[in-house]
Amino acid sequence: MSATIADTIYNALSERIITGHLAAGEKLRQEHIAREFDASHVPVREALLRLEAHGLARSEPRRGTRVSALDPSEIREVIEMRVSLEILALSHGFARLTDADIEAAEAARVACDAAEDMASWERLNRAFHKVILAPCEMPRLLAAIDDLHIASARHLFANWRHQWTRRVDSDHAAIVQALHRRDAAAACDILRRHLRRVR
């Protein structure tokens, strides 16, 4: 039960931090969070520890837990790490790729293109990337990529929120077409170009 509550709290707070609704340096008060979610302090502490583990918060002696600062200089490193790790995951996934995986990728692509606001788009864009990488079945690699997705998302909201417009992502469509053809080289090339565009 407490794990489910901790998940709910973590998901809500991480979304607020990623979208900028909780600003860098803002204090995450356990008692306020517990009251908001009608929870004990145990799942709140668990959620805060997970925020720290994902780089979204930091704990300071005698000052409590605060939203971590966003470092603009890290985006280049984040993108280069995403390029290396996502291509590694995608290339390893081709050996296990099923028709169901391709159908899931197409459904995730369509959902992402249909997003009507940036928060929905960002969440669905992340979901698309997770779906195309999941067949690699390398949990440690996928967990590292998840952390990079979170860092990327914070930078996107900080720098691109006012420029976002709904659009069809032609790179996503081209990746799905390459999956259909079982063309690993093409899919990896498109993904590399797609990720470097963010920078």
Q: Which of 174, 167, 153 is nearest to 106 (CA)?
A: 174
Mean pLDDT of 156-174: 84
Task: Please tell me the number of Cα atoms within 13 Å of 67 on its side-chain side.
Answer: 20
Residues 180, 131: Cα–Cα separation, whole Å: 14
Is pLDDT above 60 for 13?
yes
pTM above 0.95, yes or no: no
CA atoms within 13 A on the CB side of 43: 20
pLDDT at 163: 74
Interhelix angle 99-113/170-180, nearest 10 degrees? 170
pLDDT above 70 covers a percentage of the chain that reads 96
**Can you give the pLDDT at residue 2?**
47
pLDDT classification of 74: cutoffs 50, 70, 90: confident
Start and end residues for every CATH 1.10.10.10 domain found in the chain:
2-67
Q: Which residues pair with 67 in a beta bridge?
A: 57
Give the model confidence (pLDDT) of 96-120 as tens digits. Answer: 999 999 999 999 999 999 999 888 9
Mean pLDDT of the chain: 92
Position 148 pLDDT exceeds 80: yes
Q: Which of the four CATH numbers 1.10.1040.10, 1.10.10.10, 3.40.1160.10, 1.25.40.10 does domain 2-67 have?
A: 1.10.10.10
Which tokens is 40 given?
A: 């004990």
**In which band, very low, low, confident or very high, does the pLDDT at 3 lie, cut at 50, 70 and 90?**
low
- In sequence order, what E strands does 104-153 have? none
CATH class assigned to 72-197: mainly alpha
Domain with CATH 1.20.120.530 in the chain: 72-197
